Amino acid sequence: MRIAFIVDSFPNLSETFILNQITGLLDLGHEVDVFAGRDLGLKHMHADVEAYRLKARTHYFNIPVSKVSRIFKVLGLLLINFRKRPIRLLKALDVFRFGRDALSLRLFYAFLPFIGKEQDYDIIHCHFGPNGDLGIRLRQLGLQGKLVITFHGYDTRLAIKKGAYIYRDLFEHGDCFIAASSYNRRNLVDFGVDPEKIIDQPVGIDLDRFTYHPPHLSVRSAEPVRVLTVARLVEEKGLRYGIQAIRRLLERTPGLGLEYNIIGHGPLKSDLEALIQDCLLSRVIHLLGPRSQAEVVQALQRSDIFLLPSVAESFGVVLLEAQAVGLPVVASSVGGIPQAMVDGKTGFLVRPRDPDALAERLEYLIQHSELWPDMARAGRRFVKENFNIKELNQQLEAIYEVLLAG
């Protein structure tokens, strides 16, 4: 099969689930191209990006930030490309038909990389609802292929906030909607998507990359307990509650040796740094910035407990990674997180936005470190039985095949 992925950005350190699907489909013998809104220009990238030469397979829309530059560049691109697809290029500028997508010139820039390839793809797989909307518009300009849309987090929350009408055309004309969690399935049904078009398929991880690392309690007595969070520094991840929980944990257990590391980048970095200073925890809590997947694995293997204090989460892939390595987890009971762990067996769920509850569960785990080995084994087994990316990619291949046969 020839498959086109449409994504916001690529590569993206926080979206390994997309990378794993792309490399998995390539391993299965399919041709895959990636179409992305932008290149983040990351200094750290996952090794697979280079190993699979994925940048050579990636095409960027390259939309100028400046509106003036965007308009002038369109004029030049029209002159260069007009002889190739004149009617379709002009349609991409039809404000009456495509509204804001045409007015912003987003549709024009998104269509350019597909010129001459409109009939090349069997499957167009869009990650996140707005990219699915773009996929619908591109099909209206002549792009062919079955349209598959995976809904995740922010796209679902956007429809909850603004109303399902924002995806009206997508829900009517999309061929298949993949729900990464039962939380997403419920919302898609509530939005009015035909249940027969919804396929349940969670994201998964490559267990070979997340080597099981059972806890070594005997060497921890003289060392601080290491708590780790891997998350984008955005409001949805609830990191302020994690920081407050660490402060309250230390207040509850004076003299506790503790180290809390947060891996990730995002717009809240300055706010979180200020909060850490206000809590007088600069020696305890460290914002480590973005890290490659290999570095994340190393950090997981050096840690004792994984903390995810999210206030909104469609699933929580990073919980799978932590459990696969063998860490007990403490997480907020929101969205699809309860589907990504087993409360009481692989870790603990608590109410969202509750630093006291987070601190209480962390304290319990620290005081009962004899539970860690059983939780570690249970977590690894849970992930292996339910979220093995190799098996899930074979399932995705089967989903595509059924669509094409229909």
CATH of the domain at 293: 3.40.50.2000
Q: In 10 A of CB 47, how many CB atoms?
A: 11
Does this model's pTM top 0.75? My answer is yes
Instruction: Kindly state whether residues 73 and 106 are assigned to the same domain.
Output: yes
Instruction: Kindly state whether residues 224 and 329 are assigned to the same domain.
Output: yes
Q: Give, for all 406 residues of the chain, the pLDDT tens digit.
A: 999 999 999 998 778 899 999 999 999 999 999 999 999 887 778 889 999 999 999 999 989 888 888 888 888 888 787 777 788 888 999 999 999 999 999 999 999 999 988 899 999 999 999 999 999 999 999 999 999 999 988 899 999 999 999 999 999 999 999 998 999 999 999 999 999 999 999 999 999 999 999 887 644 557 899 999 999 999 999 999 999 999 999 999 998 999 999 999 999 999 999 999 999 999 999 999 999 888 999 999 999 999 999 999 988 899 999 999 999 999 999 999 999 999 999 999 999 999 999 999 999 999 999 999 999 999 999 999 999 999 999 999 999 999 999 8
Instruction: Kindly state whether residues 106 and 19 are assigned to the same domain.
Output: yes
Please check whether residue 211 lies inside any domain of the structure. no
Show the domain range for 282.
217-386
Instruction: Kindly state whether residues 187 and 237 are assigned to the same domain.
Output: no
Q: How many whole angstroms separate alpha carbon 28 and alpha carbon 26? A: 5
The 3-state DSSP class for residue 68 equals: helix
Instruction: Kindly state whether residues 184 and 270 are assigned to the same domain.
Output: no
Buried b (16+ CB within 10 A) or exposed e, 142-175: ebebbbbbbbbbebbeebeeeebebbeebbeebb
Instruction: Kindly state whether residues 47 and 135 are assigned to the same domain.
Output: yes
- Token pair 């503790």 is found at 258
Q: Are the beta carbons of 37 and 109 closer than 8 angstroms? A: no
Q: Are the beta carbons of 338 and 316 closer than 8 angstroms? A: no
Q: What residue spans of 253-371 are helical by DSSP H?
A: 269-278, 293-301, 317-325, 355-367
Q: How many domains does the chain have?
A: 2
Please check whether residue 210 lies inside any domain of the structure. no
Please check whether residue 70 lies inside any domain of the structure. yes
